[in-house]
Amino acid sequence: AGDEALRLLRHAVAGLDVGVLVNNAGLAKPCAVYLHEADVEAWVRMIRVNLWALTEVTAAVLPGMLERGRGAIVNIGSGTTLTIPSFPLFSIYAASKRYVAQLSRSLHVEYRARGIDVQCQVPLFVETNMTLGATASRKRRSFLSRLIMPTSDEYARAAVCWIGHGPLCMPNLGHRLEWCICHVVPDWMLDELCLRLNLWHRVRFQRLRTMRASRPNVINNGCMPCKQV
């Protein structure tokens, strides 16, 4: 954070020939909380990574790309901005991803004539640390559940094929199917379903925190309550 970090970043990028930038780093913590319960430090950190860092890194690589007249910038947003009207209890996360989509779209228009492709990819659930424990282990999951929640490798393979193909995309087939289904469900129903789902996550998350306080060795790197617990 701050001017010094930006100066160091620009200095580091100045000598590099950056062809493709993927702004993937992101945080979803604090997760499954009402806004008034959220830890301020955690959501400031989230905004720093999801909004600030993405914007700064993008601004830092653009001069080199403009000079060379080519480049691609891929910003990882979230399917929540496209498929559902709200994402209660993850309100700051969801809002930060709307920023990513809006920024990407405007940059796409600004730079497309100068040889730079700016794209926002909007995945739904992908099996990563962020979603650790949100579902049953992969082996025990059905074909459908594996289709809608790809591994990070499966997602990445689909994602690479989409680079350069439009300002906004949802690379994974399973995610696109979910998007179609959400399209025909009324907004009020999606609001209600998301609230219920995330209230369930909130209970699990609170249970985890209580357990962590009593057993500090419990492992959980991700945002969602870990299965082992």
Q: Which residues bind ligand NAP (CB under 6 A)?
A: 24-28, 49, 76, 78, 123, 125-126, 128-131, 222
Could you say which of 34, 93, 99, 111 is catalytic? 93
Q: Which of 66, 162 has the CB closer to ligand NAP?
A: 162
**Position of tokens 């909004």?**
51
Tally Cβ neighbours within 10 Å of residue 29.
Answer: 20
Compute the distance between CA of residue 109 and CA of residue 124 in angstroms, rounded to an integer: 25
**Is 93 annotated as catalytic?**
yes
Q: Which of 49, 197 has the CB closer to ligand NAP?
A: 49
Q: Min. distance of Cβ 195 from ligand NAP in angstroms?
A: 19
Q: Min. distance of Cβ 24 from ligand NAP in angstroms?
A: 5
Q: Which of 49, 66 has the CB closer to ligand NAP?
A: 49
Which residue minimizes CB distance to ligand NAP?
A: 26
Find the DSSP H helices in 137-229.
143-148, 152-162, 173-184, 187-214
Q: Give the tokens for residue 133.
A: 């424990």
Q: Min. distance of Cβ 154 from ligand NAP in angstroms?
A: 12
Which strands, in side-by-side order, build the sheet including 116-121? Answer: 20-23, 71-76, 116-121, 168-169
Q: Which of 76, 158 has the CB closer to ligand NAP?
A: 76
The CA-CA-CA angle for residues 140, 143, 144, to 5°, reads 115
Q: Min. distance of Cβ 203 from ligand NAP in angstroms?
A: 20
| Bond before 171 cis per omega within 30 degrees | no
| Residues forming the active site | 93
